[in-house]
Amino acid sequence: MFNKILIANRGEIAIRIMRACRELGIKTVAVYSEADRSALHAQIADEAVCIGPAASKDSYLNTKAIIAACEITHAQAIHPGFGFLSENADFARLCRTCGITFIGPAPEVMDAMGDKASAKKTMISAGVPVVPGSDGIVPTVEDAKKIAAEIGYPVMIKATAGGGGRGIRLAESEEQIEAQYIAAQQEALACFGNGDVYIEKFIVDPRHVEIQLLADNHGNVVHLGERECSLQRHNQKVLEESPSPIMTPELRERMGAAAVAAAKVSGYQNAGTIEFLVDRDRNFYFMEMNTRIQVEHPVTELVTGIDLVKAQIRIAAGEELGFSQKDIQLTGHAIECRINAEDPRHNFRPCPGTIKSLHTPGGFGVRIDSAAYAGYTIPPYYDSMIAKLLVKAPTREEAIKKMRVALSEFIIDGVETNIDFQLRLLKDEDFEAGNFDIGFLNRKNIMGE
């Protein structure tokens, strides 16, 4: 096992990783930007190293400074958390060259999964269902027209190098395809330096349901059930839960088996997630693989009892999983609400500022992952998420009630937050009935104003 791990991240996920390290008897090194001197992660780590100015590109994305921090503190491994360098294959390669363990999959696998058109081909070879579409890159508008006519409109034109919702365009008919093809290509070229696009059928009002995986370096792969992530605003997840309201034991078994097959065919190691789109008839299609720990991982921890971050560290150290699929029991229902410093009444604009006072909920079945404290000033440079509030109860109905109570106890003074928005969502009839898809929060006026 490692003696010391450097955490190349900030905020609640840095704290989350530190807790796992401490339970495993591992020393921690925090890195922080000049804007994060008073951030909790920099305060409570065993050692902390300033890696540069506030802007992420000069600090949390500054690979040279992070590697140097690792070398001066003699940390043996780097945990990248999510965002920042977590899906950067070049950084994982740099760690390898420097003899530092990157806690995540091999850079070759990250590369392979980062190219969406080729990832799709890999999935087809493993028998994983994918959205019907082109066989790889579509080189010209004429090809695009031919393929779209074959699969039928509406179609999505997608950048193979895409991410963060960029380089994706919808074409509803043949009249639109030329303009949308060119728009997707140009955006992809501008954002990713690669204009290659592919085409797939547009799935109408799908759900986003993802499967959590753990894979060790000894060929053991298990899935830990699903997370329902359809409640999103402009592709940003707002609330996640497990089980999904649409799940059946039979569907979970098929989706889980597909995810495990996907991990095996790609030689995947460590924690990862396969995102699926699920249509109204419960057909599911591979969308993408996230080669990192995710924001919403505690939802799965609550229903499985497995500490995913400790598992990541153990896997990276070469240990075996120590359990198999039949040992994984899903119990109860878990919900996560992302608490952001943002103003739902003004188009969710971020609201950095100083937290004057803070009262957090508690009690049986309530968990908070956060790096906020009273007196903390949220800097304007990074993500606006300040806490994740989770509950677990025997049933979905009870979990909803528990979450309403917890949200109503949560008091953050000094900055605007989305707590009231979350509370209204928890009281929405369609939410309560489990009746929503990925477009739900973009269509519905939750604040009712």
Active-site annotation, residues: 292
Considering the complex, state which of residue 2 and residue 291 has its C-beta at the smaller distance from ligand ADP: 291
Residue 228 binds to ligand ADP (criterion: CB under 6 A): no
Which value, to the nearest 10 degrees, does the dihedral of the CA atoms of residues 273, 94, 4, 212 take? 0
* CA atoms of 101 and 425, how far apart (whole Å): 42
User: What's the closest the beta carbon of residue 272 comes to ligand ADP, in angstroms?
Assistant: 12
Residue 202 binds to ligand ADP (criterion: CB under 6 A): yes
Residue 383 binds to ligand ADP (criterion: CB under 6 A): yes
User: What's the closest the beta carbon of residue 392 comes to ligand ADP, in angstroms?
Assistant: 19
Considering only residues 168 to 187 of the shown chain, the ones binding ligand ADP according to CB under 6 A are 168
Q: What would the x/- binding string for ligand ADP be over residues 230 to 269, using CB under 6 A?
A: -----xxx--------------------------------
* CA atoms of 385 and 237, how far apart (whole Å): 11
384 close to 357: Cβ distance less than 8 angstroms: no
Closest CA to 152 of 200, 110, 105, 116: 200
Residue 386 binds to ligand ADP (criterion: CB under 6 A): no
Residue 385 binds to ligand ADP (criterion: CB under 6 A): yes
* CA atoms of 131 and 342, how far apart (whole Å): 35
Residue 342 binds to ligand ADP (criterion: CB under 6 A): no
The label of the residue with tokens 């500490």 reads 307
Residue 226 binds to ligand ADP (criterion: CB under 6 A): no
Question: Per-residue b/e over 135-161, b at no fewer than 16 CB within 10 Å?
Answer: eeebeeeeebbebbeebebebbbbbbb
Of 35-43, 159-167, 187-195, 316-324, which segment contacts ligand ADP by CB under 6 A?
A: 159-167
Question: Cα dihedral sign for 163, 353, 350, 369?
Answer: positive
Residue 167 DSSP one-character state:
T
Of 199-207, 245-253, 351-359, 363-371, which segment contacts ligand ADP by CB under 6 A?
A: 199-207
* CA atoms of 15 and 369, how far apart (whole Å): 8
Q: What would the x/- binding string for ligand ADP be over residues 270 to 309, using CB under 6 A?
A: -----------------xx-x---xxx-------------
Considering only residues 86 to 145 of the shown chain, the ones binding ligand ADP according to CB under 6 A are 131
User: What's the closest the beta carbon of residue 225 comes to ligand ADP, in angstroms?
Assistant: 16
Helix 249-266 × helix 107-114 angle, to 10°? 120
- Interacting residues toward ligand ADP by CB under 6 A: 11, 82-84, 131, 156, 162-165, 168, 200, 202-203, 206, 208, 235-237, 287-288, 290, 294-296, 383, 385, 438
